Amino acid sequence: MSLPIAELVPPHIRAFEAYVPSRPDPELCRAYRVERLHRLNNNENPLGPPPAAQRVLAGFEPPRASVYPNGDSFFLRATLGERFGKDPERFLVGNGSCEVIASVVKAFCDKGDNIITADKTFAVYEWVAEFSGFEARLVPLKNAAFDPLAMLAAMDGRTKVLFVCNPNNPTGSWWRRDEMERFLRGVDGRAIVVLDEAYREYVDDDDFPDGMELMERHKNVVVFRTFSKMYALAGLRVGYVCGQKDVIDYIRRTHVVYSVNSLGQPAAVAALEDDAGHILATRAMVARARKTLLPAFEELGLPYISGAGNFVMVRTPASDSLIYRQLMRRGMMVRTMTGFRFPNWIRVTLVQEPVMREFLAAFREVVELVRPGGGA
Ligand SMILES: Cc1ncc(COP(=O)(O)O)c(C=O)c1O
């Protein structure tokens, strides 16, 4: 007898399409017949983690792998507490900030509740809500930025969490202090406000609203940060949420303990303690890359969106999947943006100058190829 497996599955799971991650580099290199691949698709920092974190990684003794990690990232929370002048109990560390997104949704949403975010932002907020059976209300961006008034208008008595990606992935837009303040006053404590500051360390502007400060006045604010982007520890999966103690205590109830591994915890501690030079060097690399790419996009007559963060978006003169494949054949992997609801745009991670020049050469060739009168 065949098992009627679909009947066991709730409708919101049947209706959900799984995300398919990219294949590993050796597979892709074989498929596209290239010797090496530059990954410009995930907003990673190719400079690698700060030196102190690299030393921690090099010094890891393999037998330690047999022992479970500390279950609640004790030392990392202590370091975070010191850095931000807060009680370590106000931090909850996860297997990347993706894991804490799920913990927040589980802690606050019940059947019939909704979350609010933008239509063109980091998609995991929307996905977690939907595969958990909750409505995700997606508010259109306005001028490529989160629209605070429309988000407030979308709230109702069943809204539990508002996700604000500040700066936004993929547009790089961010709310200034006064805009954020007005929004938080509008929410007026009726729901949890998540400020996802995954790219916060890339912003060097006094008018950037620091969620770590805001949460002291607006008790419903929680902040997400990650070691995957600026700190270049994406492969070790460490991210965290910080908020008021009672808020974090509820989130902790839904959170898997032991989800942060023994290598990631001390590497993140060392990265935080040795970040000053690393942040400056990374910001300089990103600024230089932006200066190289943007005039070239202009010269090609292609619209682009460039804000904060280590990425830019550019509109492609053909389908983004065609451009992707052509770039892959030249050893350049970018992010197609149709899935982000930006049809026929790509997002490019900003990295070292020589790689940016290589990318531009490949991109120019591809644009030439697909434009009318080109070789395609
Ligand atoms: C806005 C935003 N938040 C969170 C994440 C996830 O980070 P983590 O690697 O900590 O799960 C990303 C990763 O791309 C991101 O762009």
Show pLDDT as tens, one digit a residue, over the chain (376 residues).
Answer: 677 888 999 999 999 999 889 999 999 999 999 999 999 999 999 999 999 999 999 999 999 999 999 999 999 999 999 999 999 999 999 999 999 999 999 999 999 999 999 999 999 999 999 999 999 999 999 999 999 999 999 999 999 999 999 999 999 999 999 999 999 999 999 999 999 999 999 999 999 999 999 999 999 999 999 999 999 999 999 999 999 999 999 999 999 999 999 999 999 999 999 999 999 999 999 999 999 999 999 999 999 999 999 999 999 999 999 999 999 999 999 999 999 999 999 999 999 999 999 999 999 999 999 988 776 5
Question: How far is residue 180 from each of residues 117, 212, 215, 285, measured CA to CA in Å?
Answer: 15, 13, 12, 29
Ligand 1 centroid distance, CA of 174 (Å): 16
pLDDT of residue 305: 98
> What residues does CATH 3.90.1150.10 cover in the chain?
5-48+276-370
CA distance 365 to 40: 17
**C-beta of 317 in contact with ligand 1 (< 6 A):** no
Question: How far is residue 347 from each of residues 29, 77, 241, 339, measured CA to CA in Å?
Answer: 20, 33, 26, 12
Query: For a pocket test of ligand 1, which of 104, 228, 260 has the largest count of ligand atoms closer than 8 A to its C-beta?
Result: 228
pLDDT of residue 375: 61
**C-beta of 41 in contact with ligand 1 (< 6 A):** no
**C-beta of 114 in contact with ligand 1 (< 6 A):** no
Ligand 1 centroid distance, CA of 198 (Å): 6
Spell out the residues 6+ positions from residue 37 whose beta carbon is closer than 8 angstroms to its own: 25, 28, 29, 328, 331, 332, 333
Please tell me the residue having the least CA distance from ligand 1 atom 7.
97
Check if CATH label 3.40.50.720 holds for domain 51-273: no
> What residues does CATH 3.40.640.10 cover in the chain?
51-273
Atom number, ligand 1, closest to the C-alpha of residue 237:
9
**C-beta of 198 in contact with ligand 1 (< 6 A):** yes
Please tell me the residue having the least CA distance from ligand 1 atom 8.
96
**C-beta of 166 in contact with ligand 1 (< 6 A):** no
Atom number, ligand 1, closest to the C-alpha of residue 226:
10
Atom number, ligand 1, closest to the C-alpha of residue 122:
1
**C-beta of 239 in contact with ligand 1 (< 6 A):** yes
Ligand 1 centroid distance, CA of 184 (Å): 23
Architecture (CATH level 2) of domain 5-48+276-370: Alpha-Beta Complex (3.90)
**C-beta of 234 in contact with ligand 1 (< 6 A):** yes
In the numeric block, the tokens 């560390």 are attached to 93
**C-beta of 165 in contact with ligand 1 (< 6 A):** yes
**C-beta of 118 in contact with ligand 1 (< 6 A):** no
Ligand 1 centroid distance, CA of 117 (Å): 15
Residue 38's SS3 state is strand
CA distance 375 to 365: 10
pLDDT of residue 3: 75
Query: For a pocket test of ligand 1, which of 22, 44, 98 has the largest count of ligand atoms closer than 8 A to its C-beta?
Result: 98
**C-beta of 196 in contact with ligand 1 (< 6 A):** yes
Atom number, ligand 1, closest to the C-alpha of residue 42:
14
